Structure 1
Amino acid sequence: MGIIKSSAVGSVVAFTVMSGLMAAPAYADETPAATSTEEPVEVNTAPPQEPEETGLLEESELEPEPEVTTRPEKPPFDTPDAEYCSPRNVYVPKTKGGTYHKGVGPTNSNYNGTSRVARSTFVSDVTGEVGVSVTAGLSGSVSAMIAEIEGKYEVNLTAKLTAKLGNSIAVDTPPKKTTNAKYGVYRLKNTGTSYKIYSNCQTSTKKTITSYTPLKVGWYLWES
């Protein structure tokens, strides 16, 4: 069982939540409240959005791409004056979407049943890794796709990020409200076009690819 603490400072009722457990309220006295120097924490009004696409694949589930070669059924044929292109996979980022939070571990919740503002502290109780998710049909590697997205939008992305055990966050919970907290990884959504160029300069069918790529580790908070 996790450690549970509660304390009261000034007119604020404070809770500490460990491993998803909720502490009983400690009622505050009437002494002046201490001034907080902490930066405000963003608290949302709804749970994190799920990715809009279905059929997403993790990087480990993607089938390896065969080597890009000439398509023999398509002219021009291999003659001295035939047009030649360097065979390659192409990925072109098209639309930068929003960020989506993928949780690691359970959602922690704390209800403030008092008539005063309560301070809730949440602590992550698991370690987990979050990677890239992408729709089927990507030509080339995930790392090449990430490099193109980074170059176009001037962002720093990575194929995997780890949300670690023991990270904590504190936030005020209004009276008669519940603060919910989920720890995990924010991922950037992007839509792009993927295709192959063959040595005879023919191209494969262009496919629209949607991806969610790790951007940063953090908490997602919302009230209910």
Structure 2
Amino acid sequence: MARRPAHQIRAVVFDAYGTLVEITDRRRPFKQLLEQLPRESTFRQAFAQTVMSEPMDLEAAAIRFGIPLSPKTLDQLHHDLDCELASIRPFSDVIDCLHALKQRGVKLAVCSNLAKPYAIPVQRLIPMAWDAISWSFEVGAIKPHEDIYASACQQLGVSPCEALMVGDSEDEDYVGPLRFGMQAMRLRRGSLSLTLDTINSLSELPNLVR
């Protein structure tokens, strides 16, 4: 069983994809767009960081990186993006967990690396009264950079040590937040080998937060 956080928790900050919601029909349109760049292009390494740290859609990303797209190819990418967004579903343990935390007086935030089109489905599918939202494309920084965690804590009005980060990525949702001064717990769905700082379901979380 996971241990209780060491300090009083005033806010829980959640990662989005892989933690709160999942994509059930993966089409990866932005990755398809990246594949249009030549293998030797110096822009390939910066592509993912750029599309997640600036508010842009597929067409804007193509223009930014000088990727020529025919109208047919662009239409197909938009179709794949629409299909992917329509397939997003919240995990079954999410809503009950969030309501239980709210009832305990805990503030809630979402902090996630994503491209702009992927933000709306999270807020539509989980219509909570979020106390803070820290999207990478709005903050201009991606996890594990401290600026994105700082944005969440500042919006929440809590010090880092009073906030618990919960997510499925070791670097982005565990190591990075700890380095910034937050508390952190990693979500590993279906895992049978758990450390004291991991949970395998969000249903465990309310009882761990004082």
Instruction: Look at both structures and tell me which one has the larger radius of gyration over its CA atoms.
Output: 1
Structure (1 or 2) with the greater strand fraction: 1
Same fold, TM-score > 0.5, yes or no: no
Q: Return the TM-score normalized by structure 2.
A: 0.24
Structure (1 or 2) with the greater helix fraction: 2
Q: Return the TM-score normalized by structure 1.
A: 0.23
